[in-house]
Chains A and B, each alone.
Chain A
């Protein structure tokens, strides 16, 4: 039996799968899918060049400190950065006393317990604390933002396609919906609490424009705080919050590659030497 049907088993199984696929193809509906507003009007992020780009990239600490200032004075009103501790800020050039002062004066206090009564309480942040969330929990955050949840920003430049360039484009991309959009897709008009932004996946974002005017923050180093400058600075800062070991990684990588290039050259010479008497 096996000798008779053995050679036929493979084609029969194959034809089963192929028949299922051919029938799927034949029953395909080729009606054009209705075009969506996002498909036509969504934009890829504008290019953004930061000092941390490229294999030799290093952070521009002045820029990170400016970016931190934007985060502190603007973003942190709604967005947490729960993976960043105040102590980490020493890595971007703040001194130990400065870090302690930043923690102590932070707008939100950290949750604590009243040592007398054991009741829930809050206390001023310490350098060892993580940056506290502006909201007690998700429900509170949604209640304060028309049911939208401001995402945590610690990893945002690694958690979105386009990374820092996306953040920069989103922050500077607010505009009025183009007339063409309203004409073709009347439903895409941002409703009540939403804002048109072509860099956001579905074009309508709940976050109101956070950087509304030049000079919204006053930089200590004298840099002019244009909207674009503030957006670039905070994007650079969020690259650091997402990847604080980036400089270490680049430095180690260069050393490892130099070592490997030398070792591989020696390995190649050894290979050639050993095979010198054998044609292959």
Chain B
């Protein structure tokens, strides 16, 4: 598909030949994730996380569809219907814990996938569209996860919905009417719960659709690799199947071991105890926190405490929180360095790891009990987050002198080992 030396689908059996002439679906799969897709031979384990994110979505859709058969989206009985799944439905506890922890693992692998894209410059030309679609998937995931967390209708579900929908009331003039329209009432209630359930069921299929576009756009230029150097010839690539299906199979096993360990032995570790208390609009929890995967953005939201330029602090916080994600859409153009891999960017490397530390710190601060110091630290970390993307990165990418790049992927793989280079060198067409 992407390179002229890609293997061609050639069905041998009469049935597959018959099918290929009428509906070439096996050909599509062969070219997308089969032997017909040439992939750089030097991908490291960080390239496993795209497939793992797909697997996580699959787990969420399968467990979610079965849970929906037993769940009742009604404020009066939603909480009890979830408990009935835990107690009375055959293996219902397994389905629900798999779905709740599956959401966490979906975010873990997607964050690592984003981390890999940032480190190895996978967002740069010619893969900007892959990155843009990825950010769309990330936004859809956040919306889906938020609405899913509301469904058990516990205390954190209710108050989380209250806080998050409250963002819309920060919009000047029309904020409150918009919020009431979105919720279907003055506070989260049956109307909100029902529409959240409907959208929570819809959005995963939208995500699946955007994933198809994401992979489609990836297959035009082909996969990036740890050197960031373009593929030069057939010696640089291996067919996706069997090479990367085998590697992804192993990666999937490791992923499932980690997932199962949490699911079977600490299923409530990442949850909040308050969500085992039924929603009560008259009793506000002492400390409202979102799920762990939203904490860095929650910390940014809370960091804005000053009414600057006649814009209220709350609106600054909401704009900054959405802005912190939306700026990722502009990343391919903010970072003007032609070198993709951070391995060859000695100056940017430092700022990259600073950003990782900054986001981890924001995650910690997002769940910490607010004190003067915690608010101060969140303000410093939030300021650094914006400084990294909007000030440091444009400057660094202009002044940096990158290290010399390897001539080719194969040379990088075999550097120094000339004896082994020969067999591949002779393959060059």
Asked if A279 and B413 sit within 8 Å, CB to CB, the answer is yes
Instruction: Tell me, yes or no, whether A260 is within 8 Å of chain B by CB.
Output: yes
Stretch from A20-28, A94-102, A119-127, A226-234 contacting the other chain = A20-28
Complex interface: stretch among A171-179, A181-189, A265-273: A265-273
- Are B376 and A28 touching (Cβ within 8 A)? yes
The answer to whether the Cβ of A261 comes within 8 Å of any Cβ in the partner chain is: yes
In A126-176, which residues have CB < 8 Å from any B CB?
151, 154-155, 158-161, 163
Question: Which A residues lie within 8 Å of B308 (CB)?
Answer: 19-20, 23-24
Kindly report which residue of chain A lies nearest to residue B380, judged by CB atoms: A25
Chain B, interface residues (CB within 8 Å), range: 35 or more
Chain B: minimal CB distance from A5 (Å)? 13
- Could you tell me if A267 and B246 are in contact, using CB atoms closer than 8 angstroms? yes
Q: Judge if A42 is at the interface, Cβ distance under 8 Å.
A: no
Tell me which residues across on chain B come within 8 A of A250, comparing CB atoms. Answer: 264-265
- Any A CB within 8 A of the CB of B17: no
A24-B379, A264-B253 as given contacts; A257 in contact with B260, CB under 8 Å? yes
Find A10's partner among B250, B257, B334 (CB 8 Å cutoff).
B334
Shortest C-beta distance, A201 to chain B (Å), equals: 7
Cα–Cα, bound, A280→B51 (Å): 20
Q: Shortest distance in angstroms between A255's beta carbon and chain B's nearest beta carbon?
A: 9
Q: Complex formed: what's the CA distance from A151 to B273 in Å?
A: 14
Q: Which residue of B lies closest to A274 (CB)?
A: B246
A4 at the interface (CB under 8 A from B): no
Which A residue's beta carbon lies closest to that of B242? Answer: A274
Separation of A275 and B97 alpha carbons in the complex (Å): 36
Looking at B19-27, B181-189, B385-393, B399-407, the stretch in contact with chain A turns out to be: B385-393
Q: Is the CB of B87 within 8 A of A249?
A: no
Interface residues as binary, B294-309 with A (CB distance below 8 Å gives 1, 0 otherwise):
0000000001111011
Q: Mark A240-280, 1 if CB is under 8 A from B, else 0.
A: 00101100111011101100110110011011001100111
Give chain A nearest CB distance to B141 CB in angstroms: 24
Whether, in the assembled complex, B394 has its beta carbon less than 8 Å from a beta carbon of chain A, the answer is yes
For B238, the chain A residues whose CB sits under 8 A away are 278, 280
Partner of B323, one of A13, A256, A275: A13
B265, A21: Cβ atoms closer than 8 Å? no
Q: Do residues A264 and B254 form an inter-chain contact, with CB atoms below 8 A?
A: yes
Min distance, Cβ A200 to any Cβ of chain B, angstroms: 12
B265 engages A253 (CB within 8 Å)? yes
> Is A18 positioned at the interface, with any CB of B under 8 Å from its CB?
yes
Q: Does A55 contact B (CB under 8 A)?
A: yes
Confirm or deny: B41 has a beta carbon within 8 angstroms of a beta carbon on chain A. Answer: yes
Shortest Cβ distance from A161 into B: residue: B273
Partner of A30, one of B83, B372, B386: B372
List residues of B whose CB falls within 8 A of some A CB.
41-43, 80, 83, 86-87, 93-94, 97, 238, 242-243, 246-247, 249-250, 252-254, 256-257, 260-261, 263-265, 267-268, 273-274, 276-277, 286, 303-306, 308-309, 311, 313, 316, 320, 323, 327, 330, 334, 371-372, 375-376, 379-380, 382-383, 386-387, 389-391, 394, 413-414, 417, 420
Q: Interface residues, chain A, CB within 8 Å of chain B?
A: 7, 10-11, 13-15, 17-25, 27-30, 33, 55, 83, 88, 151, 154-155, 158-161, 163, 201, 242, 244-245, 248-250, 252-254, 256-257, 260-261, 263-264, 267-268, 270-271, 274-275, 278-280
Closest 7 CB pairs of A and B: A253-B264, A14-B390, A264-B253, A24-B306, A159-B276, A20-B308, A267-B250
